[in-house]
Each structure stands twice: as structure tokens, then as C-alpha cells.
């Protein structure tokens, strides 16, 4: 079996690559990064697929950012990700890939007209939140394109996995363009080092759920052997939902930060709620267990401190 992984150097990519190497010892791998192939370029994607001829494609690559990165780059996030996603989908079809595993996101769901906890059949029930509409629509088109391809005579099986907010070691810890957890970890680290206040953009009242990236990597690896199409949410139970203020408390505890925490409520909070549940995943893997958030955060904080000079920031 030959497995091609896009986005292999990112947060999910590193965790998935490590998991696959443990789980599939008699397999040939192609781990693609932006340095080895520009997935926006159709000719480059065709060259890679034509040379490697993968049996399985795990499509992780995206242009991503946190709340403010999305708000400031909606057009670019739309166009870049449309190119990436459509090139991967088309070349998978053209070169006879047997299985394509796509990674979507809970942020593609409508901001309104949904029933909580979210279910995978509600993706197209309305417009996504304005703050990340470029990224959201590009992922929706990957979902739509996959469904349309399934209606042709293609024999490719397509699995669409929809994780809630991911966190883990090999993330981008940029102070502005990162996702919420790596951004908060970096800010808290600096506040402790400099003996300053820990400033949080927004009121902290938005609700979120978080999935440890190593848990998600196990899910992806398990689906490599699944023999049908599937679309499902990958999330801890709905009871795991917390406010950003609670998340900040957990990070403060992990750092043993003793200074002041200041919420700058003039900044946007983004979508206030997008509750998900573990029910869809547990239909496939009833015994799956999730890493406790506080345990995962402590591991993430320790990794950041030990690797501060080398992490993406």
C-alpha cells in the first residue's frame, strides 16, 4: 500500500505521520509539505500524483489561521484553499486513488439555523460565521465536490472528518495569526517571563471544545482501513465544552502564572458557540477514549517551553 499525506509538516501532519509509521509498517509513504509541492499549482500536484501513484491520500493541507488571521485574509483563504482542495480531489480521481480522507472543520457549519450538538448533516443549512467565511466556503466545496464525485462511476471511497478545535505540540504559536490555544500559550509564557499582565482579546465568554491532535491522528489512522464512504464529526463529548475564560484558567495553572489576567472586551469573540459531540465517532469506534484537556494542555505547555527557540512563531 502507498499512502500520500499532504500538509505533513503541520500540526496534524506531524502527529499523523508519526501515527501512520507506527501502525503501517509494510507501507510506502509520501509526506508532502509546501516546500516539496505547491498544492495550489495543478501541474505540480499532477506531477507528484503521477510519479507516486498513491492508493490512499490523507489530505491535511490548508491555509489556516486563528480568528484574526481569518478576518484579515478571508479572500486569500478562499482562493488558496479552493485551489489546494480541488487539485487534490481531481488528481485523486484522475490517478485512481482508492481512498481519500479529507479534513474539514466545525467552523464550516452555519452560524444560525442549526441544532446543537452539531451533526454532520447540517453543514449546508446556512451561511458560516462572517469571521471565517473564506476558509469555510473552501472546505464546504471540498465536501460538495466529494459528494458529487461519489455520484459518478468513481470507485474511490471518500471519508470527510470534521474535527472540533485542534491543539497540540507542532502548532503555529504566532501571537496574532495562530489558533486560540497556541496563541494563549505563547502570550502566557511571555507574560510570565516579563512579569507583565496576561492580556486576552475578547470577553472570554465564547464556548469551545478542544481535541488533542494525537487523538485525532489515531482516528485518521483507524480510518485508513475503513471500506466505505463516511462523513462524521470528531469531537470529545458535548460535556467537554468550556468558555475561553475556563481555558485561560487551565493555561494559567499549567504555567503556574501568578500575574493579572486582563480581558480586552472591545475585541471580537468570533462565533459564540458550536457545540459538538462524540456520538458520530463512537458509532465507528465505540471504545475510543479522549485525552483530558488539562492533561493535553500540560503536555503542550511543557513542549512549548522546552522547544521555544524552534517552534513556529
What pLDDT digit, counting tens, does each position of 119-171 carry? 999 999 999 887 778 899 999 999 999 999 999 989 999 999 999 999 999 99
pLDDT of residue 176: 84
Average pLDDT over residues 57-68: 80
pLDDT of residue 67: 57
Structure pTM? Answer: 0.93
Q: In the predicted model, is pLDDT for residue 66 greater than 70? A: no
Measure the CA–CA gap between 184 and 247, rounded to whole angstroms. Answer: 9
pLDDT of residue 117: 96
Domain 2-171+209-237+275-291 fold is Rossmann fold (3.40.50)
Among 57-61, 115-119, 173-177, which stretch is predicted with the lowest mean pLDDT?
173-177
Verify cis geometry, omega within 30 degrees of 0, for the bond prior to 109: no
Average pLDDT over residues 173-196: 93
pLDDT of residue 17: 96
Q: In the predicted model, is pLDDT for residue 86 greater than 90? A: yes
Measure the CA–CA gap between 20 and 23, rounded to whole angstroms. Answer: 5
The band of 8, judged by pLDDT with boundaries at 50, 70 and 90, is very high
The band of 93, judged by pLDDT with boundaries at 50, 70 and 90, is very high
Instruction: Yes or no: say if 34 and 10 are a contact pair by the CB < 8 Å rule.
Output: no
Contacts 24+ apart (CB under 8 A), 22-30: 23/221, 23/224, 24/221, 24/224, 26/1, 27/1, 27/2, 27/3, 28/1, 28/2, 28/3, 29/2, 29/3, 29/4, 29/5, 30/2, 30/3, 30/4, 30/5, 30/54
pLDDT in tens, 269-293: 878 888 999 999 999 999 999 999 9
Question: Can 135 be counted among the known catalytic residues?
Answer: yes
pLDDT of residue 313: 85
Average pLDDT over residues 203-222: 96
pLDDT of residue 132: 78
Domain ranges of the chain: 2-171+209-237+275-291
pLDDT of residue 130: 79
Catalytic residue among 68, 75, 116, 135: 135
Q: In the predicted model, is pLDDT for residue 92 greater than 80? A: yes
Q: In the predicted model, is pLDDT for residue 68 greater than 60? A: no
pLDDT in tens, 214-224: 999 999 999 99
- Mean of pLDDT over the chain: 93
Amino acid at each position: 500500500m502507498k499512502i500520500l499525506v499532504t500538509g505533513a509538516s503541520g500540526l496534524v501532519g506531524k502527529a499523523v505521520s508519526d501515527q501512520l509509521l507506527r501502525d503501517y509498517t509494510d507501507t510506502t509513504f509520501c509526506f508532502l509539505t509546501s516546500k516539496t509541492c505547491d498544492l495550489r499549482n495543478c501541474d505540480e500536484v499532477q506531477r507528484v500524483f503521477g510519479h507516486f501513484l498513491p492508493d490512499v491520500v490523507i489530505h491535511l493541507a490548508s491555509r489556516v489561521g486563528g480568528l484574526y488571521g481569518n478576518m484579515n485574509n478571508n479572500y486569500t483563504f478562499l482562493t488558496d484553499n479552493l485551489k489546494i482542495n480541488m487539485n487534490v480531489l481531481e488528481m485523486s480521481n484522475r490517478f485512481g486513488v482508492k481512498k481519500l480522507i479529507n479534513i474539514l472543520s466545525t467552523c464550516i457549519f452555519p452560524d444560525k439555523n442549526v441544532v446543537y450538538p452539531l451533526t454532520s448533516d447540517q453543514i449546508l443549512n446556512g451561511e458560516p460565521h462572517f469571521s471565517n467565511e473564506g476558509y469555510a466556503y473552501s472546505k464546504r466545496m471540498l465536501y460538495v465536490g466529494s459528494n458529487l464525485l461519489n455520484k459518478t462511476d468513481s470507485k474511490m471511497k471518500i471519508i470527510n472528518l470534521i474535527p472540533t478545535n485542534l491543539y497540540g505540540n507542532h502548532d503555529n504559536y504566532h501571537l496574532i495569526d495562530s489558533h486560540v490555544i497556541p496563541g494563549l500559550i505563547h502570550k502566557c509564557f511571555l507574560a510570565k517571563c516579563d512579569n507583565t499582565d496576561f492580556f486576552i482579546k475578547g470577553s472570554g465568554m465564547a464556548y469551545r471544545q478542544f481535541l488533542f491532535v494525537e487523538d485525532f491522528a489515531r482516528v485518521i489512522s483507524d480510518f485508513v482501513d475503513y471500506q466505505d464512504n463516511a462523513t462524521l464529526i470528531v469531537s470529545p463529548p458535548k460535556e467537554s465544552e468550556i468558555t475561553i475564560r475556563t481555558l485561560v484558567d487551565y493555561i494559567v495553572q499549567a504555567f503556574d502564572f501568578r500575574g493579572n489576567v486582563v480581558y480586552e472586551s472591545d475585541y471580537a469573540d468570533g462565533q459564540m458557540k458550536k457545540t459538538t459531540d462524540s456520538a458520530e465517532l463512537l458509532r465507528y469506534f465505540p471504545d475510543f477514549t479522549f485525552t483530558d484537556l488539562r492533561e493535553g494542555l500540560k503536555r503542550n505547555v511543557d513542549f512549548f517551553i522546552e522547544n521555544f527557540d524552534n517552534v513556529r512563531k
